[in-house]
Amino acid sequence: MHGGHMMHMGNLKRKFWVSLILTIPVIIMSPMMGVNLPFQITSHPWTDLLVAILGTIIFVYGGAPFFSGAKGELASKKPAMMTLIAMGISVAFIYSIYAVVANQVLHLPGHVMDFFWELVTLIDIMLLGHWIEMDTVMNAGSALDRLAKLLPSDAHLISDDTITEVPIKQLQLDDTVEIRAGEKVPADGTIIDGTSHVNESMLTGEARPVKKAPNDTVIGGAINGDGTLRVKVTGTGDSGYLAQVMKLVQTAQNSKSAKENTADRVAGLLFYAALTVAIVAFISWLLIDNLAIALSIAVTVLVIACPHALGLAIPLVVARSTAIAASHGLLIAHRDVLETVPDLRYVLMDKTGTLTEGNFTVHETHSVSDLDDQRVLQLMASLESGSSHPLAVGILEQAQQAQLDLLSVTDSQQQTGVGLTGTIDGQAYQIVSPGYVEKAQLAHPHFSLERLLQTGDTVSFLVQNDQILGYVAQGDTIKPSAVTLITQLKQQRLIPVMMTGDNAQSAQKVAQQLGIDHVHAGLLPEDKEQLVRHYQQDHAKVMMVGDGVNDAPSLARADIGVAIGSGTEVAISSADIILVRSDPHSIIEFLTLARQTNRKMTQNLWWGAGYNIITIPLAAGILAPWGFMLNPMVGAVVMSLSTIIVAINAMTLKDEEHTA
């Protein structure tokens, strides 16, 4: 788990640049695997001494993170990338110091080849690889920076009935600010006075402005509409919404993909392979020739096993992939989900807000009690006054059109998967779904639930003391890109499944229009989570796409959880992928990008490990009986080419546009 160790090793960027600057004179004055390059200075005692000093500094300063990582790997008895690197640079350093002493102090016969060139370049490349790994989400971060720039520079602070314009950095929790028509919201907060329509599309993906009233929350960076609001600040700095998303990005930085674990496993195998081959080669050449030759070959095997290309194989691909994802409005919270896509079989989707617009219009309000229709609507609108759910918005808009005054509500609570409860004029009421009505067996002689639901509308019921008082029926519209999404999922041999808390008739109506064959309706959140488990049977991989609120349990349970059009804390904590834009077609873009990323990772692992697979036995002299020994220069050239190929291959991951 080398990434985890590296995160606590200070500024890798500084270590890389310092090491790289010190590397330049080493490259100029030190031969590459014993071969002098045309631009190099002819070896002199002073150059050997200077190279040894610079090499020691780079070894101690630049190599520190790798020794810390190797210590952790060995402590867990799982040698991997860090152990392989630590072994390579340690052998190269110790043998190189011995070479300097042998050549310049002891003046032993012949010339003992040093490995300072390999030592410093390996440290530089590994530092670069881990810097890139830490920096993989910076491109996604730049997309978040654009969101951060939505925040205004100043805010209207209200203090002692006076309004002062102050920089938003000075805002503190519980401050009161005034937000005028057309201005940007300076910080997260709760409205204490005023009503307005607020555009949060750049933050939550919701396409239309949301009506806001006292006790509603607003998000920093949203754009106020037609009214003046007074807001009590509830989130600034690290506690604001944008800060939560930045924490999401930091979580992504610390998560390792399965292919990175594969890279560690490959490095672990190379560690054992190189150590075994080096020992066998040393013993064999000691019996065939002499100690100097045997030691030189064993050291060459260990140095040539250093994973220059392998260390860059995955970080470069992930960096490129993350940048492309950000450009499509995809925030990847857990990179390991990229590995799951090739084995994906089912795509489970919530209906409202995911496949449909979530723009509900009231088609019918009906009382089945002593109350009149208007009273039913008034009670339901009053209970929904603190909710921003699409169904609540539809009811509130209908009440506004009917010029109904909202009543005072106390003890208002959201019951997950059931609805709302609240007390009005001392009377307790509930707003519940058809699923709840069926499960609680709340029958009523004045209507047939089955016939009511056959219209395809979404129905909400007003209940008191387990008695249905009336209902509101609303209709929704399908998102234009949803049809293309289902078609392309089927083309990719994936099975789309609709899961919704709505009634079966409404769900079937939408499913028929979209071409979805598998539909589950009337579900509570726990039902959805159980269905995810059901589809995961026989090791099938499941993607769950939802709004990130009621779907939180199933998002967390699925192999890939995708929160679409969400800006909530639940979405951030439950989903693996966040879609900044509320567009189902982004799912296709993610699937395509994930497959391309997997392909590039696999190719790079083969390039990175392939060099070692070929050169280690050749360096050990396996072909010596046939008169062939690997020329160190050839080994160095192949090593460099392998690293270059890995880098170029990662950069060829394309940003392909997908149009609906």
- Catalytic residue set: 350
Tokens of 133: 């790994």
Please give the sequence-ordered ranges of beta strands (E in DSSP) within 376-415, or none if there are none. Answer: 410-415
Q: Which two tokens stand for residue 52?
A: 């040894």
What's the angle, vertex CA 44, arms to CA 40 and CA 47, rounded to 5?
70
The count of other CB atoms within 10 Å of the CB of residue 130 is 27
Residues 399-429 as b/e (b if ≥16 CB within 10 A, e otherwise) read: beeeebebeebeebeeeebbbbbbebeeeeb
Write the DSSP assignment of 79-114 as a string of letters: --HHHHHHHHHHHHHHHHHHHHIIIIIS--SS-PPP
Tokens of 562: 């995708």
Which residue is associated with the tokens 């102090």?
105
Sheet strand arrangement including 229-235: 162-167, 154-159, 176-179, 229-235, 188-193, 217-218
Q: Count of CB atoms within 10 A of residue 14's CB?
A: 12
How far is it, in rounded angstroms, from Cα 129 to Cα 12?
10
DSSP code at position 410: E
CA distance 470 to 481: 35
From CA 224, how far away is CA 233, in angstroms rounded?
A: 15
SS3 275: helix
- Please name the residue ranges forming H helices in 403-499: 434-439, 449-453, 480-491
Residue with tokens 């500084």: 14
Question: Residue 478: which of 306, 628, 640, 355 has the closest Cα?
Answer: 355
Q: Are 221 and 242 in contact (CB under 8 A)?
A: yes
